[in-house]
Amino acid sequence: MHGQILDGKATARVITQKLASEIVTLAPKVARPPSLATVLIGDDPASHTYVQMKINRCKQVGIETRKIDLPATTTTEEAVAAVRSLSEDPAVDGILVQHPAPPAVDEAAVFAAIEPAKDVDGVTSDSLAAMAFDEYGFRSATPGGIMRLLEHYGIEMKGRHAVVVGRSRILGIPMGLLLLAQNATVTYCHSRTSGLQTKISQADLVVAATGRPELVKGSWIKEGAVVVDAGYSDMTGDVEYDSAAKRASWITPVPGGVGPMTIACLLEQTVEAHKRLNGLL
């Protein structure tokens, strides 16, 4: 067996092409195009790169962007004030606060300042609650992108045993909630989990989301399992790709798997927010 590729790059292209066409059809109905505000705190080079990638994708589909760069010396109060101002601005449909914030900034407090109707990255407590109870709300962008990728390839979650490795607020925790809502049985693993190899070897679906390169060994993967690698560090994922691909039925590459789908989900939700805020949904 050799795993078939879950091609996030190609799937994201399909989604963004549809969004570009939809935005053209919206133009006669709304005075302005969809708008996404990005907030970046500090000078982390990787964060700057990620934000610019998202801005570039927005431009490609016709979403306007507003880029807010705050210095590393920004206080929590200043960051919260900046986000609240965007939340109150009727010309802004969606708000993205790039993670991670500098250690001195209370990131949770900044997230909480996002108006839920504009939380297109799915980071507020309201969005997490909506995912937990399978109610309307925006999905966390990376887990949401993963679910869209699985849906695109017709991979159903009902009855599957899913193991999520990682429990971050923006990835691991919401990932498990979305899988549970699709009737998967979910096991969370993290840095305090004992018997990680055994738990992964029992999984029908493995989502690796730790940021620790090749933590998940290919030999741990159950024959025929689906493997989603949401890790990324110097072009390397959380999973030993070559050996895992020999056992998996489906597997995401790194890069080209989860990353493009994260941005596609963000753009999709920005357009949805635009339509809702303008009374079109």
Active site residue 44: no
The 3-state secondary structure of the chain reads CCCEECCHHHHHHHHHHHHHHHHHHHCCCCCCCCEEEEEEECCCHHHHHHHHHHHHHHHHHCCEEEEEEECCCCCHHHHHHHHHHHHHCCCCCEEEECCCCCCCCCHHHHHHCCCHHHCCCCCCHHHHHHHHCCCCCCCCHHHHHHHHHHHHCCCCCCCCEEEEECCCCCCHHHHHHHHHHCCCEEEEECCCCCCHHHHHHCCCEEEECCCCCCCECHHHCCCCCEEEECCCECCECCECHHHHHCCCCEECCCCCCHHHHHHHHHHHHHHHHHHHHCCCC
Cα(102)–Cα(100) distance, integer angstroms = 7
**Of these residues, 54, 118, 199, 222, which one is catalytic?**
54
Active site residue 197: no
**Of these residues, 7, 93, 119, 121, which one is catalytic?**
121
Residue 261: CA atoms inside 13 Å, Cβ hemisphere, count? 28
Contact 92, 119 (CB under 8 A): no
- Amino acid making up residue 209: A
**Of these residues, 7, 93, 98, 238, which one is catalytic?**
98
Cα(226)–Cα(197) distance, integer angstroms = 16
Residue 2: CA atoms inside 13 Å, Cβ hemisphere, count? 2
Active site residue 7: no
Q: Which residues are catalytic?
A: 54, 98, 121
